[in-house]
Amino acid sequence: MKHIPVTLYSHSVAYFYKIMWSAMSQSPHENSVFPVANGDRQSPIDIKTEEAKYDPALLPISPNYDPTSAKVILNNGHSTCVEFDDTENKSVLRGGPLSGSYRLRQIHFHWGASDDIGSEHAVDGKKYAAELHVVHWNSDKYSTFVEAARQRDGLAVMAVFLKIGECNSQLKKITDRLDAIRAKGKQALFTNFDPSCLLPHSLDYWTYLGSLTVPPLLESVIWIILREPITVSSEQIAKFRSLLCTAEGEAACCMLRNYRPPQPLKGREVRRN
């Protein structure tokens, strides 16, 4: 099978998480290796619902994804990702707080060692079992994902909370493929997939200006956090934990958690539609 290169978004992440999770939380290593970790718009955050400002100017979000743009599912050592063909505007996100079109690049997941914690963002201090990130880049202003990732309006990430309940038949399309990519560096073809099948019925959201939650922690993300979670089973989340952060031939180490703790808001405004 032809090798499909891992993106900038996935580079150096395993090293970062090895450092960060060795201290279980905010580590002094994080700030020394990535000084921007102390920046003014770091993510994730704890969303205080009573403090989120209603903004009547915020538009509904409009995801429009072409299932044929899905290409590969991979284990990059810190998460599982589905990557999409972003050479043209086949799959885009518009509306909400965005100006213009943001092109779909990839989706990935964050989870924890138990079902009661695993999301990156919190809501009034509450964590969910997991969090899905749908990553887009500003294709109206920039030529590539790499270029956009270094601009303050370059990326848009839509986040979806996952709560424990009934089995999610749409997520099963992904969890059924995890055995094929259990080891770090493994990848497999993954086609004909529309990530909007993983979105909740309501697309109401909170939005704020933030950063990547993995290296290089660039402060280039317009976050769109969907307020309604989707339901997944405990067994489905357990399949994510069975992934390895080690490659074949190395001592097996399961990917039990891969979330970054909430960061200080530092005066930023959280808005809601």
Whether residue 2 is contained in a domain is answered as no
**What residues make up the domain containing 56?**
8-272
CATH number at residue 81: 3.10.200.10
Q: 11, 78, 108, 136: which is the annotated catalytic residue?
A: 78
Whether residue 184 is contained in a domain is answered as yes
78 is catalytic: yes
Whether residue 246 is contained in a domain is answered as yes
pLDDT tens over the chain, length 273 residues: 434 444 444 443 444 344 333 333 344 445 556 778 999 999 999 999 999 999 999 999 999 999 999 999 999 999 999 999 999 999 999 999 999 999 999 999 999 999 999 999 999 999 999 999 999 999 999 999 999 999 999 999 999 999 999 999 999 999 999 999 999 999 999 999 999 999 999 999 999 999 999 989 999 999 999 999 999 999 999 999 999 999 999 999 999 999 999 999 999 999 999
Whether residue 65 is contained in a domain is answered as yes
What does the chain look like in DSSP terms, one character per residue? ----PPPGGGTTHHHHHHHHHHTSSS-HHHHHH-GGGGSSS-S--EE-GGGPEE-TTPPPEEEE--GGGEEEEEE-SS-EEEEE--SSTTSEEEETT-SS-EEEEEEEEEE-SBTTB--SSEETTBPPSEEEEEEEEETTT-SSHHHHTTSTTSEEEEEEEEEESS--TTTHHHHTTGGGG-STT-EEE--S--GGGGS-S---EEEEEE--SSTT--S-EEEEEESS-EEE-HHHHHHHHTSBSS-TTSPP-B-----PPP---TTPPPEE-
Q: What total number of domains does the chain contain?
A: 1
Whether residue 188 is contained in a domain is answered as yes
